[in-house]
Structure 1
Amino acid sequence: MSSLIVSYKNHRFPPQIIARAVWLYFGFPLSLRLVEEMLLERGIIVSYETIRRWGRKFGAAYAKQLRRKKPSRKDIWHLDEVVISIGGRKHWLWRAVDQDGYVLDEIVQARRDTKAARRLLLRLLKKQGLAPKRIVTDKLRSYGAAKRDLMPAVEHRSHKGPNNRAENSHLPLRKRERVMQGFRSVGGLQRFISVFSAVRNHFIQHHQKHSALATHIHRIRAMAQWKAVTVSVA
């Protein structure tokens, strides 16, 4: 894991409280004011604006430290795009998830064309370091054009119906969008999803058909690593 520049120095509250506030905000469909109330119930008096600042300052630092899934040539990328209104204008959130529902990358763009699809694939190739076994998309032709240019040997399957893994990956963000009453800027949305998806990737168990015990163990380990990461910030 990479080292961090962020410091808790000059912050009145201890790291454990800051980390808990960030975890609540990004890990659950809660508004800043609801997180404020939940902390107040525990005797912690902090304003929602302070929690907002913690999320912006520490959220990205935590996300960079969380363990990422190792790429594989057997991976299948499911790609999809969803429209999000920002300031009365349409934007498109392009997202890629793997066969387990793990979010690989996402980017907010103003267009829904080949150039935008190509940009998503370029980011994926750079971040993953290798091409997948297959990509799965809807019938948007932009994916096929971008794929032929960047990954001509990779199998491409497109479906007229829902691209279930990618489609389902939009649902948690849609819930947050309603709680937050929309996003105010492209930059704000991009910053939010970079932390939001990293936290979800870390805590959500993606594989299917796990026993209750296995799920419980996964959550304990995920929380232990979260505590280790948040305390390691100098």
Structure 2
Amino acid sequence: MINFKGAQFPKDVILFAVWFYVRFPVSYRDLEEIMEERGVNVDHATLNRWVERYAPLIAQEAQKRKTRTGRSWRMDETYIKVKGRWCYLYRAIDKHGKTLDFMLSEARDEAAATTFFARTIGNNGWPDRVVIDKSGANAAGLENMNLLLLLSGWCWLIEVLQVKYLNNIIEQDHRFIKRITRQMKGFKAFAAAQATLAGIETAHMIRKGQLNGQGGTAFEQFKALAG
């Protein structure tokens, strides 16, 4: 359960504001006006603090409660501007389009790819196969995962496929994330970008129906993650 102790606004108000920001393409000043029209006077700086504080915590709960994912993966990166520089949002989905994991990185190299695959496997289990683009760094990251399997005495390895048309599904999946972040016009800090993207990915998972045993509207599912 997420602790809202000390908050100056009711829990439902905070969660609605966070949900609205990560689900729809609005700026903080747009959201300030939207909240005011609903009788809540809260400035854009406070809204920003709410997203940075609560969105990552809600995303952690979503990872715990999401439905089981498949063992055939699609992995790719998309670009996100942070402090005027392009960073890399690593993302993976299964062949049915369910979100597996995501990670924002300042680098696009073997170390970043290895970290992402290790994290995704830790949250979802080992895949049978992973489809990637022609990136040598991503291929090297998967080779490192296969090396771990060999060193552990496993007799099977992850099948690595570099087939562009098979990755069309994740390239399409990027569009939801880009549509929301486009209105934000870049992030001023890496931590703020990480927090906001965690919320956006969670909203996208809810949109896909990935939360196990959660009913109600999308906002009600989002709110339930806070306990």
- Is residue 2:138 matched to residue 1:134? no
Relative contact order higher in (CA < 8 Å, ≥ 6 apart): 2
1:174-189 mapped onto 2 (5 Å cutoff):
174-189=178-193
Q: Hey, what does 1:82 align to over in structure 2?
A: 78
Q: Paired residues, what number? A: 214
Q: Hey, what does 1:210 align to over in structure 2?
A: none
- How much is the aligned-residue C-alpha RMSD, in angstroms? 2.4
Q: Deviations over 1:44-88 (max 9, x none)?
A: 22212221122122222333333533445x422111112333334
Letter in 2 for 1:96: A
Write the distance in 2 (CA, Å) between the matches of 1:199 and 1:182.
Answer: 19
Q: Where does the alignment leave 5 or more consecutive residues of structure 1 unmatched?
A: 207-217
- Is residue 2:188 matched to residue 1:191? no
Letter in 2 for 1:134: R
Q: Hey, what does 1:91 align to over in structure 2?
A: 87
Q: Hey, what does 1:105 align to over in structure 2?
A: 101
Q: Deviations over 1:86-110 (max 9, x none)?
A: 3343322211112232222222223
Q: Hey, what does 2:8 align to over in structure 1?
A: 12
Residues 23 and 200 of structure 2 are in contact (CA less than 8 Å); yes or no, is this contact kept in structure 1? yes
Moved over 6 A (4+): none
Q: Name the stretch that deviates more: 188-197 or 83-92.
A: 83-92
Q: Where does the alignment leave 5 or more consecutive residues of structure 2 unmatched?
A: 148-156
Write the distance in 2 (CA, Å) between the matches of 1:108 and 1:126.
Answer: 17
Q: Hey, what does 1:211 align to over in structure 2?
A: none
1:32-71 mapped onto 2 (5 Å cutoff):
32-66=28-62, 68-71=65-68
Letter in 2 for 1:193: L
| Alpha-carbon spacing, 1:127–1:17, altered in 2? closer, same or farther (3 Å) | same
Write the distance in 1 (CA, Å) between the matches of 2:107 and 2:223.
Answer: 39
| Alpha-carbon spacing, 1:140–1:61, altered in 2? closer, same or farther (3 Å) | closer
SS at match of 1:34: helix
| Alpha-carbon spacing, 1:87–1:17, altered in 2? closer, same or farther (3 Å) | closer
| Alpha-carbon spacing, 1:80–1:32, altered in 2? closer, same or farther (3 Å) | same
Write the distance in 2 (CA, Å) between the matches of 1:92 and 1:226.
Answer: 26
Write the distance in 1 (CA, Å) between the matches of 2:60 and 2:106.
Answer: 26
Write the distance in 1 (CA, Å) between the matches of 2:60 and 2:140.
Answer: 32
| Alpha-carbon spacing, 1:24–1:147, altered in 2? closer, same or farther (3 Å) | same
| Alpha-carbon spacing, 1:18–1:174, altered in 2? closer, same or farther (3 Å) | same
SS at match of 1:96: strand
Q: TM-score, normalised by structure 2?
A: 0.82
| Alpha-carbon spacing, 1:34–1:147, altered in 2? closer, same or farther (3 Å) | same
Write the distance in 1 (CA, Å) between the matches of 2:192 and 2:219.
Answer: 27
